[in-house]
A and B are shown apart, each in its own frame.
Chain A
Amino acid sequence: MYRYDEFDHQVVRERVAEFSDQVSRRLSGDLSEEQFRPLRLMNGVYLQLHAYMLRVAVPYGELTSGKMRRLAHIARVYDRGYGHFTTRQNIQFNWPKLSDIPAILKELAEVEMHAIQTSGNCIRNVTTDAFAGVAADEIEDPRPWAEVLRQWSTFHPEFTYLPRKFKIAISGGAQDRAATFFHDIGIRLVRAESGDAGFQIIVGGGMGRTPRVGRVLNGFVAKSEILSYLEAILRVYNLHGRRDNKYKARIKILVDALTLEGFRAEVDAEWQRIRGSVVEVPAEEVERIGAYFADPDWQALADNPPELAAARSRSSAFNGWVSANVMAHRVPGYAAVTVSLKPVGGIPGDATADQMDALADFADRYSLGALRVSKEQNIVLPYVRQDQLHALWQALVAEGLATANKGLISDIIACPGLDYCALANARSIPLAQMISERFSDIARQHDIGEVTLNISGCINACGHHHVGNIGILGVDKRGEESYQLVLGGDATQTAAIGDIAGPGFTAEGVVDAIETVIGVYLAQRQNGEPFIDTYRRIGLTPFKEAINAAR
């Protein structure tokens, strides 16, 4: 993975010094809260319902065992012994003191981590596929480009006070595992007929109160011209995006207002002026960064070693875990393992300091010290030998980390909701717990098969409810929690925003409605198709009718 050189270290150290000074000036009264707020947000510091929250970036989801141990240490020393992994490859600490945050950032900087631009109206942490570099369907590894974008976007002088937050995701897979159609800019590596790889640029996707599937702004931008193209988009947005209404300030609203063609004309006019200029990333810099993502020294191994087959036939629990949580690897004899942070009755995405330490140990023992954070709020061990899968599984079982539910109904994405969040209208976590309890039978989950279930505690949609195959939105109805059920969303390249199946559920009611929805699916399923295929084939009506009949 990428390693800081002395320059990168210097930038982050100077940032820590700057923010330490800003915290002192806030505490002494030199900065008002109004002046301090955007500064703290750009350093990942929120003031939530109960306390400050610190959002630390895991740039493009890559962690090492050393970084994970440092996160565990921070959870233990400065927080309440745990952290929460988010859908945008960040980790959040829920209880840090403002006066401790400079020290936390200093500890992070030592292990090449930071909280830079994890909030605020700036370019946020660039995310990618948690399986980047190992997925069998990959066109090219997106991580070097994610690092190019990290550096380019860090303290960009022109784009630090945008109309609103700005999220970029980049994906290299044929399968889009980075939700590129739901970002302000989505970048997909594509191959031209000439054989050259380049970027397809998708713009104006997003969730929140105005969900939009992003649209293709440019089918192929040469890799050498990516920064001028992004600068052109950002400049048009910075100048013309709305600033009078925060709910209409995202780039998707500007694209709507100008139409895609109108927006493209503006971008192209600016791009032609700066294209190929000094703003582009130099080829040798791309090469330098790319070298950090070179393959590890793979062993010459074969797929499906006999010890794996034997262990799978010996233990149905292990076999189920392999079927759900182990992904094919582009290198024979290896596997990419998802460690689920969704135990039955647990809090999606939470990990204790002890679990983080255990994961770091497992990474060292089984995954060449490497870990990833996925947008599904799980941890991925990307370099596991197939002949060591059983040993890893046993180790995970002992730590309570072997839940065999990746991609299944209890692999729930959930925002922190009203238990933590100052913006939320309803709780998400207790609902996620109820649903995973209701579907706790792992054999039944495997029978139901692949389905995404996402919960947001308010319309801001941090829990991605619009793009869950099953989505739940919590709202406030006269001071009480109420839930809306949404069906048919899809965060992948077959992107779709879900349809409202019914409003006004209680928490118990929505769990019952999900049972009903699953019942309709199982009755209508053909040839083992996944939920989303049945939904697309039969539409919303049969589900809606069944829900209403059961109410």
Chain B
Amino acid sequence: MSRQIVSANRLTDGLVVFRTAAGTWSERVEDARVYTAEDAEIEVAAASREATVVVGAYAVDLEEQGSAPSRLRERIRATGPTIAYGPAAVITPRRAAGA
């Protein structure tokens, strides 16, 4: 029996959100409620009626054990880029010069 969570992007800022047990949306995957595939389908349908709150709700498969999504794409989506980016990723001058 596959276990799923329901995710979407928030309309106003586009950030990834997850459906919680309280029927709200959270940015934290830890807050996601776990559904059976059947219940997830119902929840996705409900979310699609919240057209001014979220965009593109869908069900995400979880690994057989644990609470991580099974596909790499969904794991990256849940936790962010796998690389340092922006000011945190600036390469030190000495190395960049290749000197």
Minimum distance in angstroms from B67 CB to a CB of chain A: 17
Whether A49 contacts B98 in the complex (CB less than 8 A), given A98-B12, A397-B93, A399-B93, comes out as: no
Which applies to chain B's interface (DSSP): helix, strand, loop or mixed? loop
CB nearest neighbor in B for A403? B96
In the bound assembly, the distance between CA atoms of A352 and B87 in angstroms comes to 6
**Residues in chain B near residue A433, CB distance under 8 A:** 83
A350 at interface, CB cutoff 8 A = yes
In the bound assembly, the distance between CA atoms of A343 and B70 in angstroms comes to 33
Whether A345 contacts B91 in the complex (CB less than 8 A), given A29-B51, A99-B12, A479-B70, comes out as: yes
CB nearest neighbor in B for A49? B77
B90 at interface, CB cutoff 8 A = yes
B22 at interface, CB cutoff 8 A = no
Which B residues between 50 and 66 are near A, CB-CB below 8 angstroms?
51-52, 55-56
**Residues in chain A near residue B51, CB distance under 8 A:** 29, 32-33
B42 at interface, CB cutoff 8 A = no
**Residues in chain B near residue A32, CB distance under 8 A:** 51
In the bound assembly, the distance between CA atoms of A236 and B24 in angstroms comes to 50
Q: How many residues of A contact B (CB 8 A)?
A: 56
In the bound assembly, the distance between CA atoms of A419 and B81 in angstroms comes to 5
The reply to whether A481 and B93 form a contact with Cβ atoms under 8 Å apart is: no
Number of contact residues on B: which range applies? 20 to 34
Which A residues between 491 and 505 are near B, CB-CB below 8 angstroms?
none
Whether A350 contacts B96 in the complex (CB less than 8 A), given A343-B91, A479-B70, comes out as: no
CB nearest neighbor in A for B77? A49
CB nearest neighbor in A for B83? A429
Which B residues between 5 and 49 are near A, CB-CB below 8 angstroms?
9, 11-16
B72 at interface, CB cutoff 8 A = yes
In the bound assembly, the distance between CA atoms of A80 and B90 in angstroms comes to 13
The reply to whether A317 and B73 form a contact with Cβ atoms under 8 Å apart is: no
A116 at interface, CB cutoff 8 A = no
A196 at interface, CB cutoff 8 A = no
The reply to whether B95 and A343 form a contact with Cβ atoms under 8 Å apart is: yes
The reply to whether A50 and B80 form a contact with Cβ atoms under 8 Å apart is: yes
The reply to whether A51 and B15 form a contact with Cβ atoms under 8 Å apart is: yes
The reply to whether A47 and B86 form a contact with Cβ atoms under 8 Å apart is: no
Whether A352 contacts B72 in the complex (CB less than 8 A), given A99-B12, A400-B91, A419-B81, comes out as: no
Partner of A350, one of B9, B71, B85, B92: B85
Interface, chain B (partner A; CB < 8 A): 9, 11-16, 51-52, 55-56, 70-73, 76-77, 80-83, 85-87, 89-93, 95-99
Known: A50-B80, A80-B85, A94-B85. 19 other contacts (CB 8 A): A32-B51, A33-B55, A47-B9, A47-B14, A49-B16, A49-B77, A50-B15, A50-B77, A97-B12, A343-B91, A346-B91, A347-B89, A353-B87, A397-B97, A397-B99, A400-B92, A405-B98, A429-B81, A480-B72
